[in-house]
Amino acid sequence: MLALIAGVALLPLALANNYHYEIAILVGLNAIVCVGLNLLIGYAGQISLGHAGFFGIGAYGSAILTARYGWPPLAALVAASAAAAALAFAVGRPILRLRGHYLAMATLGLGIIISIVVATEDRYTGGPDGMSVPPLALAGFTLAGERAWYWLVGALLVATVWLSLNLIESPVGRALRALHGSEVAAEVSGIDSARHKLLAFALSAAIAALAGALTAHYAGFITPGKVTFLHSIELVVMVVFGGMASTFGAVVGAAVLTALPQLLTVFKEYEMVVFGSVMMLTMIFMPRGLVPTIAALAARRRKAP
Amino acid sequence: MSAQLAQFLLSGLTVGAIYALVALGFCIIYNASHVINFAQGEFVMIGGMAAASFLGAGLPLPLAALAAVALAALIGMALVKFAVEPARGASVVTLIIITIGAAILLRGLASIVWDKRIHALPAFSGEQPIEIAGATLAPQSLWVIGVTALIVAALWWFFNRTLTGKAILAVSHNRLAAQLMGISVRRVLLVSFGLSAALGALAGILIAPITFTSWDVGVMLGLKGFAAAILGGMGSGPGAVLGGLTLGLLESLGAGYISSAYKDAIAFIIILVVLVLMPGGLLGGRATERV
C-alpha cells in the first residue's frame, strides 16, 4: 500500500511531458477498473466478459446527463455509477446462478447488448461517431490540464486499492474467497453465496462505471469503441496478466497492458504481432500472472542462503 | 407460408450452418482440453483469406480451398505444440488468455501477410438464384447447408466409429483414465486442435462468397460460434449444431420482423433468457457436482 502511494507520488518525477502524463492517467483509470474487476474474478471466482458495458454506462450516462440535460458533472458521474450498479444488481440475481463458461456467455451477452444500444441510439449517444463530453467542473472550478487529472486519478486509484484491500480482509472478503474455493462448502458454513456474489458484481460494475465516466470527462470525447466486447476482454486479460487474486497484480497488469501498445507503436504494422506474442509468452512462462510469479521468486531467493 | 418468411428462414439457416461449424470447433477443443479457444474465429478468417490468396495465385478453387484448410489445420496444431503444451499444468483461465494472445497474433500476422482490404471468393457454382416457395436462394447457400450436413455426418462417424475419435471422447470424459488406457493425450490435443482449425477454415471458405472476408472477420464469427456452442450446451456436438441454427434463425427473423440494427441484441437477449431458464444450455445435461 505504501509502495503504491509512493509510486503515485513519485511517478511525476519520471514524467517528462503531457503525453507521458496522459498515458499515466489512462493507466490509472484502467487500473481502477481492474482492481474492481479483480474482486469479482480473482476473489469471488466469477468471470465477467461484459465489464466494458458497465464502463460504457458510466461514460455515456455521465456524458448524456451533462451534455444533453445540463446536469452538473459530479452529480451525473454519481448517477451514472449508481445506474450501472443498479443494472448489475438487477441482472446479477438471475445470471450469477450460472457457472463457468455459461456465466461468461451471459455477461458477454449483456455487454454486447449495451454496446449495440450505444451504437444504435444515435439521438442520445451520437452513434458510431461518438459524442463530445463537457469537462469535469465543481462549483465553477473546472478541472483541466494533465497534472490536475493525474493527481485526481492517482488519489482515486489509491482509494480503490485501499477499499479493495480492506474488503478482502473483512468478513465479506473471507466469504468471497470461501465461495471461490467451494460454493457448496461456503454455503454449508452459513455464507449466503448469492448475496456475496451479487455484492462483488455490483461493486465492480459501479467502479467500472466511475472509471468510465472519468475517462469520458477527461478525454472530452467518447466513442462506442470503449464499450465493445474487445474492451471487455482487454480488461479481463489485464487482471489475469497481472495475477488473479492480487490487488497489486491488477494494477501492474493494467499498467503493463495499457503502456505496452504505446511503446509498441515503434513497430508500426508489427504492433499486434509483438503484443500477441508478449501476451502468450508471459502466460506460458508465468502462468499465475506477473505479480504472484515474481513474488514467489523473490520469496524463494530470500529463503536461499 | 409467405414468401417473406421463407426468405428469412433460408437466410437464417445459411448463416446458422456457418455458426454451427464454428461452434463444433469450439466444442471439440473444449472436450479435449476444457479450454475455450478464443482463436477459433481467426481460423475462420485464415480459411477465407488463404483461399482467396491461393486462388489469386492461380490455383483452381477446389485446390485453393483444400490448401487453405490444410494451412489452418497446421496453424491449429502449431498452436498446441508451441503454446498450449509448454503451458501444461497452467489453469484453464491462463490457457484461455493464451488463446486470446494467439488470436491477436494471428490477426496481426494476417494484416501483414495479406492486407487490410476486403476480399471475396467467387460463388462455387454460379450466381443464378434458385426459387423455393417464392423465396430466392443463392446456390452458395445450398453449398453452405449441404457441406455442413456432410461434415456433421462425417464427425458423427469419426467420433463413434474410429479409434482416434473414440480416444478423443475418452479423454474428454476422464483424462487420467484415458491416459492409463494408453491413449496419448498429446496426440488427442493435436488432432482436436487440427480438426477444429480445419472446420473453422472450411466455414470461412464457405461463407466468403456471401459475406466477403477480411483480416478482422474472425472476431465476430468467433463470438457467434461461441454463443452458439453455449446456447446448445458446451461440449455437446448436436447442441452446437442446434445452437448454431437457432442463432442464425433468431438473427434473420429478428432482423426481418423487428429491427435490423438490433438483430444481434435480440439474439443475445434470447440467449440470456434461455440460459436463465436452462442453465446448461439447450442440450446440456443436468450437471451434478461432486463435492
CB atoms within 10 A of CB B159: 18
- The single-letter DSSP state of residue A142 is E
Query: Does residue B214 contact residue B117 with C-beta atoms inside 8 Å?
Result: yes
Architecture of domain A2-257: Orthogonal Bundle (1.10)
Distance CA A65, CA B165 (A): 58
Nearest to B25 by CA among B6, B4, B50, B44: B44
CA A247 – CA A159 distance, rounded (Å):
12
* Cell numbers for A60: 455515456
- pTM exceeds 0.90, yes or no: no
Q: Are A169 and A161 in contact (CB under 8 A)?
A: no
Instruction: Give me the residues of chain B with pLDDT under 50, please.
Output: none
- Looking at the domain assignment, is residue B182 inside a domain? yes
Question: Residue B196 and residue B198: Cα distance in Å, rounded?
Answer: 5
In a domain, B290, yes or no: no
Inform me whether the C-beta atom of residue B269 falls under 8 Å from chain A C-beta atoms.
Answer: yes
Q: What residue has cell string 447457400? A: B141
Domain boundaries, chain A: 2-257
Q: How far apart are CA B217 and CA B239, in angstroms?
A: 24
Q: Residue B287 carries which DSSP code?
A: P
Give the three cell numbers for residue B8: 428469412
Residue ranges of B 62-101 with Cβ closer than 8 A to chain A: 83, 86-87, 89-91, 93-94, 97-98, 100-101
B87 contact residues in A (CB cutoff 8 A): 283-284, 287
Identity (one letter) of the amino acid at B144? V
CA–CA separation, B210 and B16 (whole Å): 13
pLDDT at B216: 84
Query: With b meaning 16 or more CB within 10 Å and e meaning fewer, what string describes A144-165?
Result: eebeebbebbbebbbebbebbb
State the pLDDT at residue A139.
65
Do A272 and B107 count as a contact with CB atoms less than 8 A apart? yes
In angstroms, how far is the first alpha carbon of chain A from the final one? 28
Q: How far apart are CA A98 and CA A184, in angstroms?
A: 14
SS3 (DSSP) at A138: strand
**A168: part of which helix (H) or strand (E)?**
helix A146-169
Residue B159 CA to residue B172 CA, distance in Å, equals 12
Among B27, B35, B82, B272, which would you mutate to test the A interface (most chain A Cβ atoms within 10 Å of its Cβ)?
B272
Of A99, A236, A273, the CB nearest to B109: A273
B104 touches chain A (CB under 8 A): yes
* SS3 label, residue A246: coil
Residue A135 pLDDT: 86
The per-residue pLDDT for A278 is 86
Distance CA A231, CA A54 (A): 11
Q: How many other CB atoms are there within 10 angstroms of residue A55's CB atom?
A: 32
CA atoms within a 13 Å half-sphere pointing along the CA-CB vector of A252: 18
Spatial contact of A250 and A34, defined as CB atoms under 8 Å apart: yes
Report which of B100, B107, B104, B105 is spatially closest to residue B38, judged by C-alpha positions: B100
Q: What is the CA radius of gyration of chain A?
A: 19
Dist CA B232 CA B271 (whole Å): 10
The nearest CA of chain B is from the CA of A293 a distance in Å of 12
- Residues in Cβ contact with B265 at an 8 Å cutoff, skipping those fewer than 6 apart: A112, A113, A116, A117
Using CB atoms within 10 Å of the CB of residue B160, give its burial: 0 to 12 exposed, 13 to 18 middle, 19+ buried: exposed
Can you tell me the distance from the alpha carbon of B165 to that of B188, in angstroms, rounded to the nearest whole number? 9
- B69 near B194, Cβ under 8 Å? no
DSSP letter string over A105-131? HHHHHHHHHHHHHHHH-HHHH-GGG-E
Cell numbers of A25, please?
Answer: 492517467
Kindly report the number of other CB atoms within 10 A of residue A256's CB atom: 18
* Cβ separation B109–A95 shorter than 8 A: no
Tell me how many domains chain B contains.
1
Domain region containing B173:
3-277
- CB A100, CB B246: distance < 8 Å: no
**Closest Cβ opposite residue B264 in set A116, A237, A277:** A116
Q: Which of B101, B112, B281 sits opposite A276 (nearest CB)?
A: B101
Query: What's the rounded Cα separation, in Å, for the pair A127 and A170?
Result: 43
Judge: B268–A109 Cβ closer than 8 Å, yes or no: yes
The angle subtended at Cα A242 by Cα A239 and Cα A245, nearest 5°, is 65
- Domain contains B142: yes
Cell numbers of A211, please? Answer: 472509471
Which of B38, B219, B221, B230 should we substitute to test contact with A (largest number of A Cβ atoms within 10 Å)?
A: B230
Longest CA pairwise span in chain B (Å): 60
Report the complex ipTM.
Answer: 0.83
Q: Tell me how close the Cα of A168 comes to any Cα of chain B, in angstroms.
A: 22
The C-alpha cell of A113 is what?
447488448
Judge whether B22 and B197 are in contact, CB under 8 Å. Answer: no
**Is residue A175 a contact partner of residue A191, using CB atoms and an 8 Å limit?**
yes
B117 in the Ramachandran plot: left (φ > 0), alpha (ψ -120 to 50) or beta?
A: beta
pLDDT digits (tens, 9 = 90+) for B59-112: 999 999 999 999 999 999 999 999 888 887 777 778 888 998 999 999 999 999
Using alpha carbons, select from A208, A213, A220 the residue that is nearest to residue A77. Answer: A213
pLDDT (tens digit per residue) in B179-190 = 899 898 889 999
The enclosing domain of B149 has a CATH number of 1.10.3470
Q: What residues of B are in contact with residue A178 (Cβ under 8 Å)? A: none
Asked if B93's CB is within 8 angstroms of A237's CB, the reply is no
Q: Read off the pLDDT of residues B90-104 as tens digits, 9 standing for 90 and up.
A: 777 788 889 989 999
- For an interface test with A, the pick among B275, B290, B291 (most A C-beta atoms closer than 10 Å) comes out as B275
pLDDT tens digits, chain A, 305 residues: what are they?
Answer: 778 888 888 888 888 788 889 999 999 999 999 999 999 998 988 889 999 999 999 999 999 999 999 898 899 999 999 999 999 999 999 999 888 788 888 999 999 999 999 999 888 888 888 898 888 877 667 777 888 899 999 999 999 999 999 999 999 999 999 988 888 888 888 888 889 999 999 999 999 999 999 999 999 999 998 898 889 988 998 998 888 888 999 999 999 999 988 888 888 788 888 888 988 888 888 888 888 888 888 888 887 75
pLDDT score, position A145: 81
Burial of residue A94 (number of CB atoms within 10 Å: 0-12, 13-18, 19+): middle
